Structure 1
Amino acid sequence: MHIFAQRNLAAAFLLPILFLLFLLPLNNAHGQEYKVGEDDLLRIKVYDNPDLTTEVRVSGEGKITVPLIGVVAVNRLTATEIGNKLADLFADGYIKNPQVSVFILEYKSKKVTVLGEFTKPGLIEMRGESTLMEVISNAGGITAAAGDTLFIQRKSIKGSTGNKSDVTIPINLTKLLEEGNVSLNIPVQDGDSIYVPKAAFVYVTGEVKNPGAYKITKGLTVLRSITLASGFTQKARKSKTEIIRKSSKGEVTIAAQMDDLVQPDDIIVVPESFF
């Protein structure tokens, strides 16, 4: 199964390198870009006012309680934005020229479900601004039988009604893993379901030079499938090539034309010539 070996080799070489590259922007994400949410734990430091330094957890309503100020809404704000907001509030009759820093001590756990062709499918818990590549890594990578497209199913709030609907986001795995397209390494959200279906293959056997399973691409014909198998042997009886195909009534055998399009799980059989 040549396609399996090639994909495993490429993934083993490229995945660690791409993962490190994809992590570079995340160093910033956990500081300036990460937007605070429910259950995050914050440390608030007010310089020259140690009594006001405190640790607070964001409530389910996205609020924190701060000494002197009281309840403050912080949901979907960055640490820097929260610091600036608190500084303005402290300056309003409490402290002259306050300097406030906010640090995120703990990130809320995100629960993401991975299904299909992952090495370790199941429930994965992530913290902070986690990306798709981190999820793939935590799931042990994808299997050699994986297709070229990953699907993220996500709950999305629709319009002003607040109704939730499912949104499906397709990700091209070839571009993400093999070509290193960073734009596809999107953040995951709590409750995401990530699915990688099995690739569709055609099986070429008989009098070809490299019998095996080959991934079906758009417009793949019988002739192209045989070419992927390195072509006919000298003993091949080309005109008698057959396709064994699954149907609702079981397997059927049909005479193959070289320009026929193949279907998933087709078996192309090239018989031997006895002349």
Structure 2
Amino acid sequence: MVSPVVRVHLQKYSMRFQFLPILLVIALLAAVSPTTNAQEVDQDYVLGVGDALNIQVFGEPDLSFDALPVVDDGVIVMPLIGDVSVAGMSVRNAQSEIRRRLADGYLINPQVTVTISDYRPVFVVGEVKNPGKVPYAVGMTVRNAVVLAGGITDEGNRNNIVIERLLRGAETFPADFSSEIRPGDTVNVGRTDTFAVRGAVQFPETLKYQPDLTLQKAIDLAGGFAEDSDNNSIKLERDGKVFDVAGSLEQITIEPDDILTVGKLSQQEKDQLHVFVKGEVARGGRYEYADGMTVEKAITMAGGFSERASRRKIEIRRDGDPPVLMKRVDLTDYVLPGDIITVGASIF
């Protein structure tokens, strides 16, 4: 015997069978519609929290919705059938599930169409100016997402970008500006690897990391030793530890996040028996004075002339009252404690 509830539904919806031939014609027309391919792509899309769905139940406006959200627990909420867990389902499977639930005691042969109204957002994090979520659009690339997030910061590195994607598990893979992204992806823009040179150098600053860069070359990039540098007091901070590297500048290479600090002479130390050699020499810095030291001897202690050095452009600055600047210096000239020898560059 048919129950009263089912009898009411049968009476209410039996007249709809007369429309089946019309529905078949509509379905055939849809099959050759130019939008079929795009619809098929949407049907295979895997739903997740943050998506919004257009749900159309033919002849049932009270069961049809625009932009129905997939809420935090991965469900949509519909009259009659309540919560429908759709996160992780394709659009096609979600459509079948809604149809099945409506047919289970509510509607006879319900015609259900599910499409995407709004895709869940993309998240852009790391070295961008406005990190957070940005709206997804079909065909979106990393470049589009980064632009919506305000662009890369000064510390950001466009060659250090990864995409984090949640499918059955978390996946992370490298990307570039042209990489296409999917709804729910997280685009993480990394920073440029850097190191710092501090203390008694000409231009203390943070510099871009370069592979195979020795400590000496790192100091050179910072302008070389300052006149008051203490070449015997050079520290390297790495991974929270501090090392004395004064005797290993050519043997140790810089790593990302290193901090190289050149010590500074006190006034008393500067007055001691030292000379300073700078400019176009191999290793500019402070060197111990010896009686009878010549300009040539001091330059030799500094590793000799560089390839760009001009032997005709050597100057000596000597402390005094007033200080003296000696030009046209010869290699055989004698130096005094505290002298600063500068070798100029050739114009050729």
TM-score (normalizing by structure 2): 0.41
More helix by share: 1
Question: Which of these two proteins has the greater Rg computed from alpha carbons?
Answer: 2
Of structures 1 and 2, the one with the larger relative CO (CA 8 A, separation 6+) is 1
